[in-house]
Amino acid sequence: MFKRLYCLIFSVLIAVPVFAGENTGSIIGEVKVFRARRSADVVVYLTDVPGTFKPDQNHPTIDQKDLIFMPHVLPIVVGTTVDFANNDNVKHNIYSSSKAKKFNLGTYGSDVLKQETFDTEGEVALACNVHAEMSSYIVVLSNPYFAKTGNDGKFTIDNVPPGQYTLKTWHERKRTYEQKITVEAGKTTEIKIELKR
Ligand SMILES: [Cu+2]
């Protein structure tokens, strides 16, 4: 009886460190955006992930340089505070009229860093009152299991707890694509997505 108990305790003790890295799975894939020069800036994310997730304590930054918001698309976890910088010699005025976050930071130059916290999930379209051509998007998500495609359309979502989820896409002009996806511990799930409309 004691021998069996020792055996059990021993195997639990060694099982945890040995398999710690194999408790999660990965999703890799490629998105093709039709009638677009690049397949970049597609946000691929999971929904139905149980639990509550803390926002990143390191504030991501949206910079303004050469009259362009950088990055053009910023996915974040709900509750995240974003820093808004200005690295131009001209003043900008960032605002949003989106349902997920209405705000206006006013007109300011490169000597000021402004902040805004995003507490509601959804798309926040950013614009500048001074330069009509400036546009950018913050995509506020419920959990940290997301990725943004590079120019080649490729993406990776790592450290996903095993389970069944709905995988969705966000793109500034295309409709949301969604599919069911199963993630298994220690395995990589591979998918290909085409955004046509
Ligand atoms: Cu501007």
CA–CA dist 26, 185 (Å, integer): 8
pLDDT score at 127: 98
Q: How confident is the model at residue 14 (pLDDT cuts 50, 70, 90)?
A: very low
CA of 92 to the centre of ligand 1 (A): 4
pLDDT score at 4: 53
Distance of CA 181 to the CA centre of its chain: 18
CA of 110 to the centre of ligand 1 (A): 12
CA–CA dist 29, 15 (Å, integer): 31
On average, the pLDDT of the chain sits at: 91
CA of 97 to the centre of ligand 1 (A): 16
CA of 91 to the centre of ligand 1 (A): 7
CA–CA dist 60, 62 (Å, integer): 7
CA of 170 to the centre of ligand 1 (A): 25
Q: How confident is the model at residue 56 (pLDDT cuts 50, 70, 90)?
A: confident
Structural domains in the chain, sorted by start: 24-195 (2.60.40.420)
CA–CA dist 167, 181 (Å, integer): 6
CA atoms within 13 A on the CB side of 3: 0
146-176: pLDDT as tens digits: 999 999 999 999 999 999 999 999 999 999 9
pLDDT score at 8: 46
CA of 134 to the centre of ligand 1 (A): 6
